[in-house]
Structure 1
Amino acid sequence: MQKIDVEDLITLVRNYNPRTNEDLIRRAYDYGERMHEGQFRKSGEPYFTHPVAVAAILTEMRLDDATIVTALLHDTIEDTRSTYQEVSQMFGADVAELVNGVTKLTNLQLSSSETKQAENFRKLFMAMSKDLRVILVKLADRLHNMRTIKSMRPDKQAQKARETMEIYAPLAGRMGMQWMREELEDLAFRVLNPEGRNSIIRRFITLQRETGDVIQKITQDIRHELEEAGIDADVFGRAKKPYGIWRKMQEKGQGFSRLSDIYGFRVITRNEADCYRVLGAIHHRWRAVPGRFKDYISQPKSNGYRSIHTTVSGRDGKRVEVQIRTRQMHEVAEAGVAAHWSYRDGVRAENPFAVDPAKWLASLTERFANAEDHDEFLENVKLEMYADQVFCFSPKGDVVKLPKGATPLDFAYAIHTRIGDSCVGAKVDGVRVPLWTRLKNGQSVEIMTAEGQRPQATWIDIVVTGRAKGAIRRSLREEDRERYIKLGRELARVAFENVGRKSTDKALQTAAKTLGLDDAAEVLARLGSAEIRATDVVQAIYPDLVRDTGDEIDVERAVIGISADQHFTISPCCQPVPGERIVGITYRGRGVIVHAIDCPALAAYEEQPERWVDLHWQSGKHPAIYSVTLNVTIRNDAGVLGRICTLIGDQKANISDMHFADRKHDFYRLLIDVELRDAEHLHTVLTALEAESDVAAIERLRDASRKA
């Protein structure tokens, strides 16, 4: 790639900001080039080509001088002899703070373990809360790195692509920068699933050859309708990105040939009134598809996005999505929250639809403030970042914004935790509905409450918002704390006895300190509620005892038939254990997934014999680490659950997780994850439990919905 020289860069800025401080940009360019002298990218190009390219990307968003200068200097403090003090002295405290913020983000390993990832998400949002321009530079940095990713090692490409798909692309979308989200997703898709992407492109080429230029034809149809109605507007059409089509195929379980809405059209009007006139003209000509209309003009998204979305059955019955908005709305739709800093003719653009980034961030981070632990925070962030929104009304007419798929319970908790906790029912548009009903745009929701009502354990599976899940968990944790502590104590006793130790208060206190929990009671409560595993508690104090397997077979060599350069994963859908017949399915970048030979999931690969691998277990003694889920129905009586746990422990099997699937007055149904050595060990545990009089029914649970 040829480096953009300083005069070309200044020209790019001057095109939208004639009053730009050219001297500042020249000095930053010269300083950055000097600091990076002698450094090269993996491709062999001078390193400084990268900061300049990042700055050029930001000029497309018409950003201010401070952001452009930050892009030129964003790697100087991290990778050169430059210092914060020097940057501050030469370019001002504002630029130095921005460069330092980008440096801190660069050091975050966002694709590491879940706990670490959650903590890094906290840091990412803290950086955003100080100045959102830090994230804009980081997103442009990631975009250029993804555009030039081919020069990296394949394993690094995969890591960066996953990180982009999981974090940076959704973040760009949440900020309203849809064009950047789509490009980041597609660049990551190119790395993670090149065959899938190429197949979409090939189908597009075939479709175009068969039907001609559909986009041009439909664009002309829309323009004709607008001319007939006397509406002055611009019309643009495009095919959706390969990843967007792939995602729709996965979500709907449909093949390409059955997927109809693969084309998108935008109509840019002169004023807001014309938006609704355009909508009328389009619906007059083509039949609207039910359930696919959204009015984000009357109910804007929190990031300032405004537009009317409708899907119609267009030419030859093909579904097409049409977005209708004004020029100012379009600028916000393209730039998102970055529109706050964009310039036109040397002055900050006064766009009435651009949101105040400080207010947007406050509304975003407020929802994460009550997250008590890493997992809860991570769940909140991911749910919020990926969420599409629906808008519902309270009986007083207040608008409540919720993610797509939200229920009346989510609505109740969005109003107030107290309302959610005491909810006993809901009416939607005046009709009583179950609490698990999925809400739709424009519905009116009335929540009914009762004094003394408490959240139910089943509510966790009903709600989708992080706020509701966190509030329910806190309430259940408080209400069931004593019961969980009692159960946790029994689980801890069995786990410690398995390694020849005693579960004393001092041992549990030590485990609490190692696990970062408050005290021994908290360890037992989380153990009893299946938030942590008994093996984690034992390993926190006696790591050598948990890892010591004596003459047992090395886990990494437990399966024969795997080549030296491959790794394997046991499929959670069928949970095969040593002693059972197995087969492997290969995945690019994921090695081999091991299935039981009778697993129903294998039917999906019948026409792909090249992916099958003949496998069998290593003969000998295997460690008790292979998880099997048992579906157990027990009598609801004092001490029964403790006896069941003890009985499993007596068979030298460890309970790694436990979930109450059903609670009735006279019985409980439990899903218990047990770690076993092999098929014989499983048979021993099942036989022992079947012989117990308090066990009404027991079976091994295999769940096809669980995927590796």
Structure 2
Amino acid sequence: MNITPSDATLPSAATSKRTASSRANKTAPSGELSASKSEIGSLTGSANAVASITHLTAKLSQYLTPSELKKVKEAYRFSDEKHLGQMRKSGEPYISHPIAVAEICADWKLDAQAIMAALLHDVMEDQDVQKEELIEHFGAPVAALVDGLSKLDKIEFQSQIEAQAENFRKMLLAMARDVRVILVKLADRLHNMRTLGVMSVEKKRRIARETMEVYVPIAHRLGLNNIYRELQELSFSHLHPLRHRTLQKAVKAARGNRREVVSKILESVKTTLAAASIHAQIDGREKTLYGIYRKMRTKHLSFSQVLDVYGFRIVVDTFANCYVALGTLHALYKPMPGKFKDYIAIPKLNGYQSLHTTLIGPYGTPVEFQIRTQDMHRVAESGVAAHWLYKDEDGDLSDLQQRTHAWLQSLLDIQKQTGDSAEFLEHVKVDLFPDSVYVFTPKSKIIALPRGATTLDFAYTIHTDIGDSTVAAKINHESVPLRSELHNGDIVEIITARGSRPSPNWLSFVRTGKARSAIRHHLRTINLQESIELGASLLTQALNALNADSTLTPGLVEHLLDESSAKTLDEIYADIGVGKRMAGLVARHIMGLQEKQSTPLSSLQADEDTPHKQNSIVINGNEGASIQLAPCCLPIPGDKLIGQLKRDQGVIVHTEDCNIAKRQRNKDPERWIEVLWGTEINRHFDCRIKVLVHNDKGILARVAAEIGNSDANIIYVNMDDDKDQMMTQLIFTIQIQDRVHLARLLRNVRRIHGVTRILRDRS
């Protein structure tokens, strides 16, 4: 292929001082999820280096048409011109980075639009190129891809965490619309990690940690195992360089000692498979250093114990021969019980398919085998990139594409139900964990869920409406609590009832991001008015405590909405009511706006170090979900109270002497407010009591009868399992009116013969 000089090389930065000077002082926006390009290695200056696209065009010419290749060259020239004068810290022209990203995408044989987006992926973020300009030059699809890859550096955020979460949300939602976004992004991150050596130690660790926490799970979830392993290795080498070097030397030294065993196993397996007329490609699987390190840490094994497990991969020609090869190997070496997994019949979430078996090889050493076909091997290494386009010409979806599409669609569902970026990030990270369990519907459809998922997670996976109306569940035809964890092979049945609604308690045990976001969305919706009223009350009290004017003028509200990214004042009130915003911080923000509007300075005098001197909230115990009584200490009327503002849960009311409240208050004092009991209390409250009794016949019946005679209701009772002891401790959860009622009940029970001690339990 003929390549013009402008295609093959980038003019040296010395010839473009005019553009370099205009960008020399450019600063990166703060608080981005991905490290800024200046941190990864861009700077401006002079150099004589050139960047070539010879290798890229050679790769692309194998599968792109001449017209598509021409468009790619146009994208290169555009990016080349925009990045003139910009250099990496390694001394290379900055354009070498987009070219390297495009080459990685070309290895996956992504289409021309994705390659163009790879070449242009930094021009919006670094060079202030507008999306409209990209649409004009390269069309809307390419512009949309580049926009999805660009971070939100034009928006000011209240914190770095908020900015990181919002950038992550933008990237994942763009990925949900077009999976090519994340493929280009992973290629971008891979090249940045390969060239991270020039950075400072602190930045290397920060970027490596982010890669390990976010991009490695995404690569695994999409089945991109080659990138998954390389990103893991690179992150490990920068996070723990000494451990990485030590393991590297140990593995190198151990290789020589392993050659004899490996050769003997390979020869035996080849001979046995050939005798069974199975054509197979057999390779030894080298464990990654991070894989060795993780296994040593999690299973508390020594280095020699981990390395003494030999791994081989067998790639056969047909689906049936996978199982024939398995039987042949089991005849050659004895299988280890419980060490066989059939990922062909039930593929992993990311589409991975193989038979896994562990056998006892020569000298009694464990030998792990993976058996798969060539197509399975291609998907195992490249995942969704092996056939990234959602639909073929007939519009049909493959099994892997259906699973990927379902997961990407779930991101959009979570986005619709999520209040903010930080919550969205929390939910999605939960779903990125690779471990999973496979369960069945009553009609034998397989459902994959994260390990630890419950029957309620299963219900929400089927449909949000089913989850919202769930009242009971069965596992393997037996009734179980909704919090019951699922295990591989379980048959799960969900029982619903019209009118049933989610409970706030569900948030304490659901596992999947979809379930958590759906429950929170429902609770926010039904309790919105209550949260608005609570938030307005809290804000007024915070303003009064700061001696500020609590009257919010229309002009003040307009400025407050502009600077807080809220659409209405009620939205701010609701956020305060559910704990998303701190009333004290919003009050101080309002004071700042009042000062700008020439509010008298005397009204701004406040003690910022005493956030708890707000007027107290008055409760009667019949409030909705926005005010909850803490289950640890179970407050009752007459107790002194303190309230904790918890995110998405409103106010959690504790007794003032609750040990849990004391610890949490020391950690985060800004989120605590004073709470008082009201005068219109007309309900009973839960309370726990402990009763130490002699283990006499009928003692439980006598204590329970006296509790009933004291006008209290027993809702739960527990006792020691050991019946041979002389003394037994009974624990009751009862319903009473107030502290006076409780004191009378304790006196009555204490008089019973056989009762040694009775007290209120607030542990």
TM-score (ref. length: structure 1): 0.68
Q: Which amino acid aligns with 1:644?
A: L
CA contact (8 A) 2:560 2:590 kept: no
Q: Which amino acid aligns with 1:368?
A: I
Q: CA deviation at 1:465?
A: 0.5
| Partner SS state of residue 44, structure 1 | coil
Aligned residues: percent identity?
A: 38
| Partner SS state of residue 487, structure 2 | coil
CA contact (8 A) 2:51 2:93 kept: no
Higher RCO (CA < 8 A, seq sep 6+): 1
Counterparts in 2 of 1:504 and 1:474: CA distance versus 1, 3 Å: farther
CA contact (8 A) 2:343 2:354 kept: yes
- Flag structure 2 segments of 5+ consecutive residues without an equivalent: 1-47, 593-603, 611-629, 670-738, 743-758
Aligned pair partner of 2:379 in 332, 335, 349 = 332
Map of 2:418 onto structure 1: 372
Map of 1:52 onto structure 2: 99
Question: Does residue 145 in structure 1 map to residue 214 in structure 2?
Answer: no
Q: CA deviation at 1:54?
A: 1.9
Counterparts in 2 of 1:633 and 1:535: CA distance versus 1, 3 Å: same
Q: What whole-Å deviation, never above 9, does each CA across 1:264-291 have from its counterpart, x for those lacking one?
A: 4332221211222233334444555566
Counterparts in 2 of 1:208 and 1:125: CA distance versus 1, 3 Å: same
Counterparts in 2 of 1:249 and 1:451: CA distance versus 1, 3 Å: farther
CA contact (8 A) 2:135 2:142 kept: yes
The farther-off stretch of 250-259 and 511-520 is: 511-520
Q: Distance in 1 between matches of 2:526 and 2:142?
A: 51
Map of 1:628 onto structure 2: none
| Partner SS state of residue 378, structure 2 | helix
Map of 1:181 onto structure 2: 228
Question: Does residue 159 in structure 1 map to residue 206 in structure 2?
Answer: yes
Question: Does residue 445 in structure 1 map to residue 492 in structure 2?
Answer: yes
Q: Distance in 1 between matches of 2:362 and 2:167?
A: 49
CA contact (8 A) 2:578 2:650 kept: no
Question: Does residue 637 in structure 1 map to residue 636 in structure 2?
Answer: yes
Larger Rg: 2
Which aligned pairs between 1:185-224 and structure 2 lie closer than 5 A?
185-208=232-255, 211-212=258-259, 218-224=265-271
Q: Which amino acid aligns with 2:323?
A: Y
Q: What whole-Å deviation, never above 9, does each CA across 1:64-85 have from its counterpart, x for those lacking one?
A: 3333344334334554597767
Q: What whole-Å deviation, never above 9, does each CA across 1:506-531 have from its counterpart, x for those lacking one?
A: 99999995766687877677666655
Cα RMSD for the two superposed structures: 5.1
Counterparts in 2 of 1:228 and 1:498: CA distance versus 1, 3 Å: farther
Question: Does residue 426 in structure 1 map to residue 425 in structure 2?
Answer: no
Q: Which amino acid aligns with 1:180?
A: I
| Partner SS state of residue 432, structure 2 | helix
CA contact (8 A) 2:417 2:518 kept: no
Q: CA deviation at 1:17?
A: 5.7
CA contact (8 A) 1:505 1:520 kept: no
Map of 1:604 onto structure 2: none
Which aligned pairs between 1:391-540 and structure 2 lie closer than 5 A?
391-449=438-496, 454-476=501-523, 499=546, 533=582, 535-540=584-589
Counterparts in 2 of 1:326 and 1:481: CA distance versus 1, 3 Å: same
Q: Which amino acid aligns with 1:327?
A: Q
CA contact (8 A) 2:340 2:358 kept: yes
Q: Distance in 1 between matches of 2:60 and 2:212?
A: 30
CA contact (8 A) 1:36 1:47 kept: yes
Q: CA deviation at 1:253?
A: 5.2
Q: Distance in 1 between matches of 2:317 and 2:287?
A: 25
Map of 1:114 onto structure 2: 161
Q: What whole-Å deviation, never above 9, does each CA across 1:557-588 have from its counterpart, x for those lacking one?
A: xxxxxxxxxxxxxxxxxxxxxxxxxxxxxxxx
Counterparts in 2 of 1:474 and 1:354: CA distance versus 1, 3 Å: closer
Q: Distance in 2 between matches of 1:180 and 1:333?
A: 11
| Partner SS state of residue 45, structure 1 | coil
Q: What whole-Å deviation, never above 9, does each CA across 1:210-259 have from its counterpart, x for those lacking one?
A: 54576555544543443343321212222332233334444445554554
Q: What whole-Å deviation, never above 9, does each CA across 1:37-93 have from its counterpart, x for those lacking one?
A: 433211112223222222222222123333334433433455459776776666555
Q: CA deviation at 1:462?
A: 1.9
CA contact (8 A) 2:312 2:369 kept: yes
Map of 1:385 onto structure 2: 432
Q: What whole-Å deviation, never above 9, does each CA across 1:176-224 have from its counterpart, x for those lacking one?
A: 2111122112212222222232343344345445545765555445434
Q: Which amino acid aligns with 2:192?
A: N
| Partner SS state of residue 355, structure 1 | helix
Which aligned pairs between 1:687-706 and structure 2 lie closer than 5 A?
696=760
CA contact (8 A) 1:33 1:48 kept: yes
Q: What whole-Å deviation, never above 9, does each CA across 1:119-152 have from its counterpart, x for those lacking one?
A: 2233113322443323322221221111011122
Q: Distance in 2 between matches of 1:659 and 1:26?
A: 54
Q: Distance in 2 between matches of 1:46 and 1:521?
A: 51
Q: CA deviation at 1:333?
A: 2.4
Q: Distance in 1 between matches of 2:582 and 2:77?
A: 56
Q: Which amino acid aligns with 1:467?
A: K
Aligned pair partner of 1:277 in 301, 319, 324 = 324
CA contact (8 A) 2:233 2:289 kept: yes
CA contact (8 A) 2:344 2:355 kept: yes
Counterparts in 2 of 1:489 and 1:46: CA distance versus 1, 3 Å: closer
Q: What whole-Å deviation, never above 9, does each CA across 1:82-107 have from its counterpart, x for those lacking one?
A: 77677666655554554454445898
Map of 2:15 onto structure 1: none
| Partner SS state of residue 368, structure 1 | helix
- Flag structure 1 segments of 5+ consecutive residues without an equivalent: 551-630, 647-653, 680-691, 700-708
Q: Which amino acid aligns with 2:492?
A: V
Map of 1:363 onto structure 2: 409
Counterparts in 2 of 1:249 and 1:533: CA distance versus 1, 3 Å: farther
Q: Distance in 1 between matches of 2:336 and 2:159?
A: 43
Map of 1:124 onto structure 2: 171
Counterparts in 2 of 1:442 and 1:676: CA distance versus 1, 3 Å: closer
Question: Does residue 295 in structure 1 map to residue 342 in structure 2?
Answer: yes
The farther-off stretch of 421-430 and 373-382 is: 421-430
| Partner SS state of residue 443, structure 1 | coil
Q: Distance in 2 between matches of 1:96 and 1:678?
A: 44
Q: What whole-Å deviation, never above 9, does each CA across 1:630-685 have from its counterpart, x for those lacking one?
A: x9954553474xx4128xxxxxxx87889999999xx9996565545999xxxxxx
Question: How many corresponding residue pairs?
Answer: 594
Q: CA deviation at 1:341?
A: 5.5
Counterparts in 2 of 1:119 and 1:180: CA distance versus 1, 3 Å: same
Q: CA deviation at 1:410?
A: 1.0
CA contact (8 A) 2:176 2:412 kept: no
Q: What whole-Å deviation, never above 9, does each CA across 1:308-330 have from its counterpart, x for those lacking one?
A: 34445555555554333221222
| Partner SS state of residue 493, structure 2 | strand
| Partner SS state of residue 442, structure 2 | coil
Q: Which amino acid aligns with 1:11?
A: A
| Partner SS state of residue 55, structure 2 | helix
